[in-house]
A and B are shown apart, each in its own frame.
Chain A
Amino acid sequence: MNHSISLTVNGARRDFVLDDPRVTLLDLLRERLHLTGTKKGCDRGQCGACTILVDGKRINSCLALAISHDGADILTIEGVARGDQLHPVQAAFIAHDGFQCGFCTPGQIMSAIGMMREAQAGNDPERIRECMSGNLCRCGAYAGIVDAVLEAQAGADETNQRRSA
């Protein structure tokens, strides 16, 4: 049975006919929309490589059926930069070498962006470590990841202060 669904992906509305309700958001993005920035590391919600934002919240796209997210607003790594201008989190990941092989990186960055929106960790390294623990990195770039998030958070705090001033 075919199911019609519509999603907003990186700001653009996309309408699909899904021929199979088994398709996850991750496989929809990667194999049908060819948005391959989002990675599949485990396909079971155990590594975080597939992290995307759905309606502003970070989730594991491997454990989300596309059909159940009809109407959702999705942000993937491809939608984070504005052209050549990197998102501050992206820039900070480069500056602090928050990755090596880069495979977990899109998930780490989406998770970091989601975490900053959640506003629970602030600039406390220990809370950042805890709140980023859903993203495994086998190369062991965790120190750089935490430093990158701290820098991005500091930048965001500064912007907010300027706005409120």
Chain B
Amino acid sequence: MPELNLTSAPAHLRHGSSIGQPLTRRDGVLKVKGEATYAADNHPPGMLFAVIAVASIAHGRVTSLDVAAAKRHPGVVDVMTPDHKPQLAIDPEIKTNPFVFRMEVLQGNEVRYANQPIAVVIAETLEAATEGAVLLAPRYETLPALVGLDAGKSYVPPVVGVGNPSENHHGDVAAGLASADKQIDATYETPAQYHNAMEPHAIVAHWNDDHLQIDMPTQGLMLSLARVAELFGIAHDKIHIRSPFLGGGFGSKGLMAGPPVLGIMAAKLVGRPVKLVLRREQMYGPVGHRAPTRQRLRIGADAEGRLTALDHHARTVSSTFDDFYEPAADASHTLYAAPAIRTSHDAVRVNTGTPLFMRAPGEATGSIALESAIDEMAWACGMDPLAFRLKNYAEVEPITGKPFSSKALRACYDQGAARFGWAKRSLRPRQMRDDAGLLVGWGMGTATFPALMFQAEARAAIRRDGTGAMEIGAHDMGQGAWTALAQIAADAVGLDIDSVNFKAGTSDLPDAGIAGGSAHTATAGAAIHSAGAAVIAKLADLATNDERSPLFGAGNTGVIARDGRLIRRDDDSRSESYSEILARAGVAEVEARGTGAPNPAAMEEYAMHAHGAVFAEVKVDPELGQIRVTRMVGAFAAGRIVNPHLVKSQLFGGMIWGMSFALHEEAITDRRSGRIMNANLGEYHIPVNADVPPLDVITVEEHDPHVNALGIKGVGEIGITGSAGAVANAVWHATGVRVRRFPIRIEELLTQR
């Protein structure tokens, strides 16, 4: 891959450090010119096209494939089936670690869900491969499909999400509910949702003898590399993955799924490079989704509107062959100061591709139910929803009793409410109209997302020409790693951002961990920060131990790095440039590594979360029931903001996902066949431009000394939480109709005129 030609000297303001500056995207020019290379844009010489054939049944087995018909089609080179495929080094059903999910890579004829890959057709042209896959005309032995939240006997999963206990409690919930003056008992349903990144999952796989070159969008280069290595039985250093840009990920490109493995197998089978891109409808199965939930919330409050108990139970589904459980009820752990809290989960198995993390997994699903229920409770208490939330403001994390590492939620409430004009809201629903006669409703929700850290490593160098280098296998799926991490890198090595050669996006670089959990900037940033500090320390060693240096004798801690110079901390006039130091020492460069990792001591002591408050206005046609969001304000406190320009975009995106959760998104499964009936972008609705109103984001100042060295909490996912509930609550406030099944449908608002 040629060096990425990232924008230098962009037209943006700039003073002092890079962190905190609203730089425009350094990959912006590449992206607006169509020059950013996504996986499917690669064409190695001799490349063939592979197209997957998928099952149209949800349960059973394939009894025949007309391979001969496919092969007769001009241009078809080969057909990969369970009977004709390269052997894998290990059984893909074996879970070698918790981040390995089972995948369907033609190991047998069993069909476990609709849209499961059952064969791969490889051809000289895309047209031939596509038709070849149709000509396979599979026949099946069909078994009854398990569909829906009541598909079978429920069970309590051992863990939900990533290793969370499926049940948690604090205090006596039964007593709290019994003593309550007001109670609500409400059940909410959320549908299956699909990530639907604009870029379909794609791979270009190319074997050169025993070396494997892969172009593939991934949120986890090293996890993917390790999985490929074990599946194909090759050493890590024989694999090179390039993922400079992802066309969106949202969790679906975090872990290795079956389709890219099939692409690698196909390339091996035919001995030529192969491109395999999922068709949009094929993304509704083998690459994960957000599981549906049914959530029951029982809440009690005393006469003053203080919570006495909060009981949140979530039913969800997993696949018949693997385990991932949407941790929806966990959303009730952190926000409201109930003296008694219980959260619990159970699940049923259905014929579906295994659910997976999808932007704010658990937090988003749980949030819309919790924020709706809190809104219902506020109304039951006759209180303004904001006043009710403030009354039950958690000064310590309710479920654990731990203090928060920082929590500027009160400021979020204040600033968001002021910007929105919340004080003018009528307490009762269905009171406001615009002058076209449309019902107007205002709703709010509290946003929260944990401040996570994973593990990462970075390599930093200072070169004799005065430039720096920072290398980390980080991922840019749109959040802006090419820019934000480079800003952190620039500060870490005390250079202007354009003087740092920032490398990311390939698997030969140090492991940046996974781009997920809203933790990538914090984790990779911490590694970069620490690598920078280490390389500067080495440079300082060279200078302060050298009698010829003006810094001689200053000691490691006695200098600071700024603008390509080391400067005595106690005397600005004594400094030396990086180039001078390295030239005199006669070395081409100094380099050092640094790591980023969670701090177990801080985690033990503190609850660490980002917070926010979202306010939404909707209009609803009183007779026709059509809904439109007309205004949203979100105020978020997420620690240090590395780049306000990009953070605003991320938060906007999250808020739009929240709106989509409340009003649009839903995969519709045929209850008999288990097939998804709207596996496309025409009928699986995500918001279009006209759905999105003017949005306003406030980032509330928050200093957090505990989360990590940089004080970053992450903003990728929090925007959905709070927003979904705010929109749903606004619909109630507009109409007086409380809809507890999402997305809210027109027919549910037709009951009243």
Contact = CB atoms under 8 A, between A and B. Distances in A.
A and B in contact, CB less than 8 Å: yes
Mostly, the B contact residues are loop
Contacts of B267: none
A137 B250 CA distance: 13
B38 A103 contact: yes
Interface in A74-127: 76-78, 80-81, 86, 90-91, 93-95, 97, 99-106, 109, 125-126
A139 to B, nearest CB: 5
Given A100-B478, A129-B692, A142-B692, A36 B41 contact: yes
B646 interface: yes
Q: How large is the interface on A (under 10, 10 to 19, 20 to 34, 35 or more residues)?
A: 35 or more
Contacts of A76: 34
Given A42-B280, A104-B198, A141 B652 contact: yes
A141 to B, nearest CB: 6
A77 B655 contact: no
Interface in B674-730: 680-682, 686-690, 692, 694-695
B564 interface: no
Nearest to B650: A100
B197 A101 contact: yes
A44 interface: yes
Contact of B681 (A23, A136, A140, A142): A136
Given A27-B127, A44-B680, A97 B31 contact: no
B32 interface: yes
A68 interface: no
B29 interface: yes
A132 interface: yes
A100 B479 contact: yes
B32 A105 contact: yes
Contacts of B649: 97, 100, 139-141, 144
A71 interface: no
Contacts of A141: 649, 652-653
B29 A41 contact: no
A43 interface: yes
A54 to B, nearest CB: 17
A141 B655 CA distance: 11
Given A27-B127, A34-B43, A132-B689, A42 B680 contact: yes
A77 B33 contact: yes
Interface string B146-169: 000000000000000000000000
Interface stretch (B240-248, B420-428, B546-554, B618-626): B240-248
Nearest to A100: B478
A102 B27 contact: yes
A126 B694 CA distance: 10
A135 interface: yes
Contact of B688 (A39, A78, A133): A133
A145 interface: yes
A96 B690 CA distance: 18
A20 B247 CA distance: 29
Interface in A17-60: 20, 22-23, 27, 30-31, 34-47, 49
A154 interface: no
Contacts of A144: 649, 652
A153 B497 CA distance: 32
A102 B127 contact: no
B686 A138 contact: yes
A95 B645 CA distance: 10
Interface string B195-207: 0111110000000
B680 A37 contact: no
A156 interface: no
A86 B238 CA distance: 40
A40 B655 CA distance: 26
B455 interface: no
A94 B656 CA distance: 20
Contacts of B27: 102
A124 to B, nearest CB: 12
Q: Which of A39, A78, A100, A140 has the most CB of B within 10 A?
A: A140
Contacts of A134: 688
Contact of A99 (B11, B31, B277, B692): B31
Contacts of A93: 28, 32
A143 B247 contact: no
A134 B29 CA distance: 23
Q: Which of A35, A41, A125, A126 has the most CB of B within 10 A?
A: A41
A97 B198 contact: no
B24 interface: yes
A80 B33 contact: yes
Contacts of A106: 32, 34
Contacts of A142: 652, 656, 687, 689, 692
B31 A102 contact: yes
Contact of B33 (A27, A78, A137): A78
B38 A39 contact: yes
B184 interface: no
B24 to A, nearest CB: 5
Given A101-B248, A102-B31, A103-B245, 9 more contacts: A31-B49, A102-B245, A103-B197, A130-B690, A133-B688, A133-B690, A137-B198, A138-B250, A144-B652
18 contacts: A20-B127, A38-B34, A43-B279, A44-B280, A47-B681, A90-B32, A90-B33, A97-B646, A99-B31, A100-B649, A102-B245, A129-B692, A130-B690, A133-B689, A133-B690, A137-B198, A138-B250, A139-B653
Interface of B: 11, 24-25, 27-38, 40-41, 43, 49, 125-128, 131, 196-200, 245-250, 277, 279-280, 477-480, 645-646, 648-650, 652-657, 680-682, 686-690, 692, 694-695
Which 4 residue pairs spanning A and B have beta carbons closest together? A37-B34, A103-B247, A101-B478, A100-B478
